[in-house]
Amino acid sequence: MTVKPEQAVYTLVVGLGKTGLSVVRYLRGLGENIIVVDSRDMPPGLNDLRSDFSDVQCHTGDFTASLFVNAHRIIVSPGVALSEPALVAAKNNNIEIIGDIDLFAHEVSAPVIGITGSNGKSTVTTLLALMASHAGYKSVASGNIGTPVLDSLDDDVDLYVLELSSFQLETLHSLPMKAAVVLNISADHLDRYDSVSAYALSKQVIYENADVLVLNKDDEMASRIVASSKKRLMFTLNAAAENEFGFCEYYKCDDFNTENSRAAISLCFGNKYLVAADELKIKGRHNLQNALAALALGHAFGLSFEQMISALKEFTGLPHRSQFVAQINRVNWINDSKATNVGACIAALQGLPGKHVLIAGGEAKGADFSMLTAVIAKHCRAVVLIGKDAEKIKSIVPQAVNVRVLSDMPAAVAAAQAMAQPGDNVLLAPACASFDMFDNFEHRGDVFVQAVEALQS
């Protein structure tokens, strides 16, 4: 007799892609009966699932409610909102709903450091893992950064550095961490959250099971936590107080000539000098903030300053994040395609010296662009817009700033070249998601780079 799915004991995996496939691999290794559902007709990873797990049932398209309410438990991928009616029905039926991070929590034995925030997560995650490697630890960066956490499980790992999105934190119930940070909060994913406050609260979950809370002193919403007796470490882009990571002035001498000494902005811990900002390969105030956060997390874990500074001096940053592409006729072309929200766009505009021709636009995700008005007025010579919500951004551009709306990236690059002056930056910092025109933010950045390179041919 054939047993109907709703009569069997099974775990329901909701959402395929990289995370869903990693969950299937993990659960199959435990010998569990699995059913997979995905609302997309042809979700990423479907061919791999059919090839590697041909016996696993997969239902695509509209969700079938009975599969949810009759499951033993549900593992939901981050891209599926918990407000999905089928999930709400399952919750009301007292069915356990968790994510891959909780599965990881049951298996992991090595220390974990958690990193979330609106912007800078991948940079800080990668940098901290590099710092730990310099100190002799076998460290793994995983999570939202690209490698699913279940695929990173390894008995030889000394430290897991996890980038965690708000979506992943929504289903996190228990994961002990040595340290955790909310880097910053800016309006993002308002197509999924009712307000910025609700979005911020989803990030704060990361602190619940952390031994050391690393807090951004400059971001009230990111550092707003309930009373706690846990150890705290602060970082700031202002002068560092005792036991804080921040800035200080350090006088450097050129060519050993004390008469030519100059004050250099430096990173410090309290009054302890660590490194001058101009010795780093990463540029911009937002990247200095990322460096300070990584130093605070590493210090909480027990890494030495010498080991961390060695890694920091080596670190060149990540592609599509304030990435220098070329200088053409004394105009710098910068790829910050990862600036997928308003806060990241503002950080890019304020963090780089000189005037900018900004290329922006895409899928707004419900964002309010009004905060960009004053920043554009101060930092931009011109604005070039593409994508679904280009007109929405155009409406907040000051009248004194030249603005054009164009159909694609090559046209935007050509227009930016015509408007830029020697000494300017042409900055791709879209303030929007990419999926209205591109596969992802990497694809968007690659198309920008290709268009810039074509200018030189």
Assess whether 134 carries a catalytic annotation. no
Backbone angles phi, psi at 12, to 5 degrees: -95, 125
Beta bridge mates, 239: 247
Q: Residue 55 and residue 40: Cα distance in Å, rounded?
A: 20
Choose, from 70, 119, 121, 335, the residue flagged as catalytic: 121
Other Cβ atoms less than 10 A from the Cβ of 79: the count is 18
Running DSSP on this structure, what letter comes out for residue 206? G
Q: Residue 107 and residue 146: Cα distance in Å, rounded?
A: 20
Choose, from 70, 134, 184, 189, the residue flagged as catalytic: 189
Q: Which helix (H) or strand (E) segment is 60 a member of?
A: strand 57-60
Radius of gyration of the chain (CA): 23
Extract the runs of DSSP E, i.e. beta strands, from 138-256. 139-143, 159-163, 177-182, 210-216, 231-239, 244-254
Assess whether 189 carries a catalytic annotation. yes
Assess whether 388 carries a catalytic annotation. no
Q: Residue 189 and residue 184: Cα distance in Å, rounded?
A: 14
Residue with tokens 């505009």: 349
Choose, from 70, 144, 290, 335, the residue flagged as catalytic: 144
Q: Residue 63 and residue 84: Cα distance in Å, rounded?
A: 10
Calculate the alpha carbon distances from 63 to 22, 34, 69 in Å: 21, 16, 11
Give the catalytic positions in this structure: 121, 144, 189
